[in-house]
Amino acid sequence: MNASAKIPSVVSDDTVRYHEVRAAMPALAAELSAEDLAAQAMTDASPGKWHLAHSSWFFEAMILASEPGYQPVDPRLQQVFNSYYDSLGRRVERSERGLMTRPSLEDIGAYRAEIDRRMGARLAKGLGDGLGRYLFTLGLHHEQQHQELFLMDLLNLMSRSPLDPSAYKLEPRPGGALQTPRGGRSRFEGGLVEIGHKGAGFAFDNEGPRHRVWLEPFLLDHDLVTNGQWLAFMADGGYRRPELWLADGWATARAEGWDAPLYWRFDDGVWTVLGLVGRAPVEADAPVRHVSGYEADAYACWAGRRLPTEAEWESAAATAPDVFSNLTGEVWQHTSSAYSPYPGFRPTEGTASEYNGKFMANQRVLRGGSFATPPGHARVTYRNFFYPQQRWAFMGLRLASDAPAGSPARIEKIETAKFRAELVAGLSRSRKTLSPKWFYDAEGSRLFEDITRLPEYYPTRQEAALLRDMAPGLTRSFGENAVLVEFGSGASEKTRILIDAAPSLKAYVPIDISPDALTAAAASIARAYPAMEVAPMVGDFLNLAPLPELGRGRRVGFFPGSTIGNLEPDQAIAFLANARERLGPSSLFILGVDLVKDPALLVAAYDDAQGVTAAFNLNVLVRANRELAADFDLEGFSHLAVWNAGKSRMEMHLRAARAMTVRIDDTAIAFEAGETIHTESSRKFTRATLTDMAEAAGWHVAAFETSPEPSVALALLSG
């Protein structure tokens, strides 16, 4: 088929995107016969021909038809290719879609081409930013959903033939390559988390509004359940033991005669499975596909586990995407959550209101994405949904369980997995890098405190003295019952200066990535100030969880130590903007920065005579050796501190003395002699560069004071 219109020579981004998305389904159809595209496998599925036409009809019905005086390409097609939009009049029943031998495949190709031509003209006029743009993007995502449905339905059709036909020579995998398993599971502490879509970028109406959910601590497996594990379930009578099944699931399994996943068959003593490339023996290591929600639930029960809720899945996937294999790109993952509206859900206005909302009964949510999901289609907030008895979709499962009380803190385990992922990714770059946040294990936090007492390291002394001078003025603007929220609180030493000057502080929320430093500091502050509530949060301040509700007073952010200088300029703005939103209306923010000065002073501060900063820098390799079983030769690396005038920042590096290979798990990283790992940048500011940064994040600089030489500054920001 040649269904796509020719791309005009001068095209907008919308036009390019439209043609890119529209080209995919005809490409999937190209290898198939007219008969393959005409037949309907079952009521849940549609013929390929119908998908090609319906996805074109969608653009006509939702976008083109809204133009005054619009003449349809063929008014009769409105009824033939309407799927389920009751507000658009009569339609052909779903079960009858395979009976429509007319229009022919060729006529459908012509219909597609005509819609592409009309859409091209419509896009040339421009879409604007309102509902029109939303419906256009919805049309593209709808088309992508049908690309996946096309493949699901085709496989089901192939399964109806005893000939075990292969639809394709190679499995189409728009969703990307299968990832190797990671092993293990992570503990998530849960608590008050947010899920759902918010902000920029497209999402379906059912993904919002973003809202808060309370989660008890839970465990989520890093990997999907495999065929081999499923075979063990079958061998243990999984399909014959009613005690493992939900009542409706057991009734369905009996009625349907289920004894294995869909498309499996026992051939000459071997389990085989039909896929888009034909029938083959079941591969034990591959993730299981085509199991219903009922089967997934029975399997989880057999394994002594459970399915995750959709909030658990989303919160874990958003917090620590790197610790999981095949989060997307292999199978949609069953959850135990009913598909129902989020609090405050409103369907899209107009005809598209029928898109999602009216299906919110008796179905369950699946998360992730499959190998057949086109790139750019799914998101971490995406809610796919099917009835619990359906199994022709590309669906599988990842297990969860309640976290046992008193087991070690989640953050250590997830942080270790993240550390490994970031270290391998950072060292695989042409310029090797590692985020400074990995400095702060217990030893790193201790060494940092030693640095703050070095004669060459002026920032802590200068900042503390400046804070002492400014504290009475700063705290006067806090008001009654304020809540102090400190980012990267470390030992919380400077915090005491503020707390002493603000006796009416209601609560203190220290946030730090290092659990050891945080726990000790929070306990010590709580002992020293018994009237004030202390609510520590272990976590990454670049990925802030909602703050606890601690009264009605103003929230005051505190970010001293020039830690902001460790962030890339864009990251720093995003952090400040996010903090402003989290802190809420009428909040304040006290920001400490180091100022541009003589490079000799700067280099001395980052390369002290006693070698404490060098030990601090090298400790990240010690940590990698201990936590990740890496084999860095500690004698083979040395500390390097340099002033980068172009970027106005001090840089710390670890330099390899000679060519060598380092192993981190299974990954080998080669170093050339003299090559460095860039471990930290400490940007130095002027009043002007600080003001630009704060204003770009929506803050106003209400006060700015500098210390005597070597100078640092404190700024008071207001929202």
CB of 280 to ligand SAM, least distance (A): 46
Q: Would you give the DSSP letter of residue 330?
A: B
| Tokens at 719, concatenated | 């929202």
Burial of 246 (0-12, 13-18, 19+ CB in 10 A): middle
54 contacts: CB under 8 Å, gap ≥ 6 = 46, 81, 82, 83, 146
649 contacts: CB under 8 Å, gap ≥ 6 = 565, 643, 681, 682, 683, 684
Closest CA to 48 of 154, 148, 174: 154
| Tokens at 234, concatenated | 């079958």
CB of 515 to ligand SAM, least distance (A): 10
Closest CA to 84 of 117, 107, 57: 57
> Is 224 or 573 the residue whose CB approaches ligand SAM more closely?
573
> Is 206 or 460 the residue whose CB approaches ligand SAM more closely?
460
φ, ψ for residue 131 (rounded to 5)? -60, -35
Secondary structure element (H or E) that encloses residue 619, with its range:
helix 612-628
Residue with tokens 């590692």: 434
> Is 129 or 570 the residue whose CB approaches ligand SAM more closely?
570
CB of 541 to ligand SAM, least distance (A): 4
CB of 463 to ligand SAM, least distance (A): 7
Biggest CA pair distance of the chain: 86
> Is 208 or 436 the residue whose CB approaches ligand SAM more closely?
436
> Is 295 or 680 the residue whose CB approaches ligand SAM more closely?
680
Q: Is the peptide bond before 710 cis (omega within 30 degrees of 0)?
A: yes
Closest CA to 124 of 24, 7, 22, 21: 7
CB of 487 to ligand SAM, least distance (A): 7
CB of 495 to ligand SAM, least distance (A): 8
Cα–Cα distance, 24 to 195 (Å, whole number): 31
> Is 287 or 488 the residue whose CB approaches ligand SAM more closely?
488
| Tokens at 404, concatenated | 């046992």
| Tokens at 445, concatenated | 């936090």
φ, ψ for residue 644 (rounded to 5)? -105, 100
> Is 399 or 579 the residue whose CB approaches ligand SAM more closely?
579
Cα–Cα distance, 108 to 118 (Å, whole number): 15
> Is 177 or 523 the residue whose CB approaches ligand SAM more closely?
523
CB of 570 to ligand SAM, least distance (A): 15
CB of 492 to ligand SAM, least distance (A): 8
> Is 513 or 588 the residue whose CB approaches ligand SAM more closely?
513
Cα–Cα distance, 538 to 515 (Å, whole number): 6
8 Å CB contact between 488 and 511: yes
CB of 486 to ligand SAM, least distance (A): 7
Q: Name the CA radius of gyration of the chain, rounded.
A: 30
CB of 558 to ligand SAM, least distance (A): 8
Cα–Cα distance, 475 to 503 (Å, whole number): 9
> Is 310 or 680 the residue whose CB approaches ligand SAM more closely?
680
Q: How far is CA 524 from each of CA 138, 411, 684, rounded to the nearest angstrom?
A: 53, 21, 31
CB of 694 to ligand SAM, least distance (A): 18
| Distance, first Cα to last Cα, the chain | 57
The DSSP line for 194-236 is EES--SSS---GGG-S-EEEEE--EEEESSPPBHHHHHHHHHT
> Is 208 or 488 the residue whose CB approaches ligand SAM more closely?
488
> Is 284 or 528 the residue whose CB approaches ligand SAM more closely?
528
CB of 605 to ligand SAM, least distance (A): 13
Site residues, ligand SAM (CB under 6 A)? 437, 440, 445, 448, 460, 488-490, 494, 511-514, 517, 540-542, 560-561, 563
> Is 377 or 494 the residue whose CB approaches ligand SAM more closely?
494
> Is 367 or 494 the residue whose CB approaches ligand SAM more closely?
494
128 contacts: CB under 8 Å, gap ≥ 6 = none
CB of 560 to ligand SAM, least distance (A): 4
Cα–Cα distance, 488 to 563 (Å, whole number): 8
CB of 112 to ligand SAM, least distance (A): 49
